Structure 1
Amino acid sequence: MGDNGVFSVSNASDSNPTALSQVPLQFGVEILPPAQGCVPGVNKPSFMTPTPLHGDVHHAAVGQAHEITLRAQISDNSIFDFQVSGPSNMSKTLTGLSNGVMMATLTWIPQETDLYRHVPLCFTAETLNSQSEMRCIIVVVAKARVLSGEAKVICDDNSISIVVSKASMDGIDQNWLQLRDPTCSLTSNQTHILGTMSLNTCGTTMDDSGDFMVFKNEINSFENPNAVITRRNQVKFGFSCQYPKIASVSNRYVNHKSDYIFTESSFGTFSYSFEVFTDSSFNSQVDPSQYPVQVQLMDPIYMGIEASTALPEVTLFVESCRATPEDNPFSPVFYDIIKDGCVTDETVTVYASDSTKYDFEIQAFKFTGGFDEVYISCSVILCAKDSPNSRCAQGCLGQAARRRRRDVSQETARHYITQGPLRVARQTHNYAASNDSGFLHMSTSTGVFAGLFVVSIAVVVGMLVYNAKRTRSVDRMQLLSSF
């Protein structure tokens, strides 16, 4: 390379050619035909479970083997390798399976020098003609393996239940365990730690793993933020439920929101349903297949919230409800319907119901700025019935209301539930339009209006002509009488 950064090539006629290398080099170029497509699983490899998802965090311990399993599939070709970027002392074992599936097992034993490191690891599956997406995970190295108890996971249509054996987690205090969402806690009996959550609560996330939809959560230990020392072991383990894509599970969770299920130590497992109803009887729900719910501006919308719990004496309190143009209760664009327990929209009618139900009606509206969809999100609390110092007993807290000290042991945490979208139907108008022949077509209403307009013009013209003739006749009579 010359001083100006430009490569130069010496011709064979040069008297003193410069050698490119002291080692003989050979180069080969292979030109492959263009790929026929880029469909994952067909023309390029697609990852399958139990391959880690992009962004996953794994935990390993110094001196102990940590294994990661990769699995990918392709139908129009064959996978010959997994390209892996990771620690230099990581080993890889390939296993060919049936139906174009290839599996790789990665094994790594962290050393003392890896302690407390967050080690990135990236991988792809490769054929001769294509490559899968790249996924990257993080492996966190600790002094000893993080405790992970023996657990049973129960996958229902719209919920996940986790049952952890206490015997497999010696010295663990259930009161210092939590799910991914810290507002969701766990409960326990003498032998097990229990938790139940719906597929859209408590921090549960959904990932597409190729052949399955995977709903994931985890149990973590936490510490007192004011404590200097601790004598509790760290606990962290994930759990998941996977559903085949051939099932209708995706439609159920993308549009219509299923029941919200929570677990708290003082109240056990409880759930909220948030539905749109067809009329003011609140007996017939809008079918989930009809979501997004089509509405017209100013139409009445009937919505109802109901709490379900094994506890006999509880009260449901709806602290707030707000509308947003997206599926996010904390969207910067919002409209308050209920705030601090007070109804703020003048079109809202609250219907009387029992202590665990809240039924209300509101007139349909839409957000300005081109938004066509509306989501309704409410924060709800369950309280022990007749508890004088609970949030439920305080009711509407306007600016002038006095806020009393609350007894939080008599109420659940505040939970957000969402339903929607409600989609405002676009208004249709009939306009005149010409066809290819140049003739003008009108709707029936437009033709009637045009006819009435022409008749009105004719009547006005006739009256003007009549008045003009009558005026000339009167003027002529006056003229004759003057002689």
Structure 2
Amino acid sequence: MRVLGRLLLLPLVAALVLAEDNSIEPKGTPRCGASLNQPSKALAIELNADANCIWQIQRTTDETIRAIFSYFQFAPSSSCETESIKVYDGPSTNSTLLGQICSDTDAIPILESSSDSLTFLITTNSVVFTRNFFVFYYFFSETDAVNCGGELTGPNGTFTSPNYPAAHPEFTYCIWHIQTDKNSKINLQFQDFFLELDQNCRFDFVAVYDGPSTNTGLIGKVCGRTQPSFESSSNTITVVLSTDDSNSYRGFSAEYTSIPLPAPVQPDASLTCSSDSMTIVLSKSYLASLGYDETQLQLNDPSCRPVVTDSIVFSFPLTSCGTTKQDDGQSITYTNIVSLSPTGNVITRQKSLEIIAKCKMENNSTVEIMYITKNNIIQNITSVGRYDVSISFYDSDSFSNPILESPYYIDLNETIFTQVSLHSTDPNLLVFVDTCIASPQPDFGSPTYDLIRSGCNKDDTVVTYPPLEHYGRFKFNAFRFLRYFPSVYLQCDVVICDSNDTDSRCTRGCISRQKRDISSYLWKTNAVVGPIRLKRDLRSAGHSESLTKAEAEETPNLQQHSFYTLSFVVLISNIIIVVAVILKYHIKHQAGYSYQKLQSSY
């Protein structure tokens, strides 16, 4: 009976898919470019040779535009130079480039606009071939977003799609990052799987990536009714669930297990980068196979010598040993070269070898790239690190005495001095505070309040200081959130620039959404600090100043019986005030959260 039920169900599913497929684009929709403003839309695009078509998506509400390029078929043997989809964060192709999609793109691009419009341009070459693309987009707000995804660690675990086994919500977008122990790989098995059926998985799909991100390494994309399984090559794997607004089914249930890997083989060469230094490790056996030893190695600066143990190790600050730095407006790259000089004056039978080590700083991390040339063959070795950035409060504008207490108790309207610090050995860097938001919750769920946005002061008490070497500084007056949230947390997005670039993002200051001519910056990082609490919260608990912060938060407020009557009167008065405020609130039709500035009575 179960088999018969599935056979009866398949025609129904196919009919629903066909109905959606036929309703993607109504008649009259331009096939080469369009201006769109619907809250959501799917586009099945068919183009031939020599096309140059622009689609512009414009939102009218305060929401984010998310565009999903779930299927693309370029001409065979095309390249990014001849055929591509370019996506821009703004109303034209002069806006900031969000990303480029080509025939060799090893991912399913999902891009979001930070402005009120998103534009994409499809260009094709002169090859006679019918290209097919599928794009769907929708507007969403953070409050409407489905709560799903997250970090999964440990040797094994399980996870499900939202609402499983009930139907998943519309416009679901979830990312699960799975990481197991080092020297292991991951087996991912879907025990139950039911998403909308489509030959190319254009509408609803699960995408699985072999690694820690969704940028590259796509293992597979699946939909329909199946029980797929995947295996990673390392101890990280990423799973993405994306759905549209129709034909919702029960989603999936999955489990993962870790599989131990054989002991790693010592690599010929490796590179590690941090905010402070670069470390290059070469194996002795590798050098011996080329007919060299460690005495013949040198960096750009020959005076920098390696430490020789079981391996040959060059470890040095990023700005020393002849390291060069290049800022292309989107990233900063530090480069050094390990060179090996063959012996002999006329001829040599030794292989000439050059190791080019690059630390590329971008995308909230430090990405290391090493190129090794072996007789004109280039090998690529990569690893990932992170910027070392911190944020602290200070007691004055001298920024000499950090506040070490947590929570930080302060009076309303008292000035809070804040400093973001970059810990790096490169003196020619600037730190710019791009965005800072406040929230009563450490996870920065609703509500939030903007102090700084895109370098623009959004609160009238915020004062920003000019960038100073590795420090971004600003001050603002203390406030509290309404509805009696006790704490305030800060989260700041930080941009790092080369101080020698006089036209960098760090020197341009406030950028409004209308100024779309500003060049993009691909990497940033963020830091969180808090909580801030009001001193009156500390004093109202009936504590002396000699008590610890833990006592201030946890010890009960013990009042004498003689104060009970006064407390009751104060309670009744507060109730009357609250009722009056609520009536005034509804009369003025004010909705949602906000913040309140009060004059300090202390």
Check whether TM > 0.5: no
More strand by share: 2
* Normalised TM-score (structure 2): 0.32
* Normalised TM-score (structure 1): 0.39
Larger radius of gyration: 1
